[in-house]
Structure formats: C-alpha cells, structure tokens
Chains A and B, each alone.
Chain A
Amino acid sequence: DTGVSQNPRHKITKRGQNVTFRCDPISEHNRLYWYRQTLGQGPEFLTYFQNEAQLEKSRLLSDRFSAERPKGSFSTLEIQRTEQGDSAMYLCASSLIGAGVSDEQFFGPGTRLTVL
C-alpha cells in the first residue's frame, strides 16, 4: 500500500489554458474525493465518486471543471479555460465505505496549480 498519489505535484499555466490532474487512490478503496484548498483556508469539497459513478458535485465546481473515474480506479480532474481564481491546491482523498468500515479519508500530497 503506497497511499494516495497525485500528479503532477505542481502545475504552472497561463490563463485560458486547460490542465488535467491525476489521482491514484489506495487500491481497494471504493470512494474517491476531490477537494480544493486556497491559502489560509481549509479544504473545500468539490466532488466524489463511488467506484466509477460520480455521485455529487459541489456548487464550487463550475462547468469548466470535469472529473472522471473511468474504471473505478484512478481519477482525473480537468479544468478548462483556467482563470487566476483557479489557483489553489487540489487534494484527492480515498476511503473504503461499507458495513463495519470507518469513514476515514486518506489524502494525497496535492497538486498545486498556479494560473498566471
């Protein structure tokens, strides 16, 4: 078990460009979450998947954002036409939800996005 991994760790892009981040959860975990963290704030929920199904999206997730988890394993988060306000740390977490299993989420190291 190598934990949750995220790539890239850092991304610098120009306004208007598209970016894509990847998250690899802990292998047996059936839930995967995306959060966004801006400077001086706690993480804010964006969306989550149970297996390959995206079950909920936050109002923070505008139409420029899309997330996928095609085979119920890794996930990608794409931001189209980036804006300076998208600059933040994007965190991925995974958990195992089921009978008798706790709701503990394990976090990856995050992808820091800077939009110039």
Chain B
Amino acid sequence: GDSVTQMEGPVTLSEEAFLTINCTYTATGYPSLFWYVQYPGEGLQLLLKATKADDKGSNKGFEATYRKETTSFHLEKGSVQVSDSAVYFCALYGNNRLAFGKGNQVVVIP
C-alpha cells in the first residue's frame, strides 16, 4: 500500500540555520504530496502541498519539490526561527485517505 518514510530522529538546530527534512514515498499512480506541521498543543496544520511532478510547494519560507524520479518531497527552509519549533509530517493523498510519515520533531535553539 501507499506509504511515506521520513528520516529518523528529532532535529535540533540553531536559529538562522538551514533546515532539511527528508521524505520519500511509495505509491501507485501520482499522489498529491503534503507537509503538515503540529505546533505544541495545537492540531495539524497544512504547511504546503504539491499535486504533480516538479511542482514546488512553498509557505512561510518553507519549500518542497515533488520529485517523481526519486519519489521524494524533501522539506527545506533557509533560515529557521525559534517559532518554527514543531513536529513536521510528510503525507500523501491516495485511495481516499492521507498516509503520513512518523513525523520529525524540530527544535530551534536561540
């Protein structure tokens, strides 16, 4: 079935550092891809999405490009802030539901 794999472990980095979170997927067809963010004590919020190959989703300084050839949708931000500390989930939409990765906790230190 459809699945999403995110890199293992939390990510800790200093303010203004470059952030990358890896995400790869397995799916039949060409699913839509998403990044969701969960801030402490809050619900899941859509961060960005891409619906077809080579699309780039972007929002709040975050970007991710739908790469069909490598089945990847890596999340990047050039300069993180303390307020970016959260859990980030990669997801794909297929077979009438979202399939999520395990999530990565990002901690940004001032």
Contact = CB atoms under 8 A, between A and B. Distances in A.
Interface stretch (B39-47, B59-67, B77-85): B39-47
B74 interface: no
**Chain B interface main SS type:** strand
Contacts of A43: 44, 89, 98, 100
A109 to B, nearest CB: 4
Contacts of A100: none
A40 B102 CA distance: 7
Given A41-B102, A41-B103, A103-B32, A33 B97 contact: yes
Which range holds the interface residue count of chain B?
20 to 34
B46 A55 contact: no
A48 interface: yes
A109 B97 contact: no
B97 A42 contact: no
Interface string B71-94: 000000000000000000101010
Interface of B: 4, 32, 34, 36, 42-46, 49, 51, 89, 91, 93, 96-103
Interface of A: 4, 33, 35, 40-45, 48, 55-56, 91, 93, 102-110
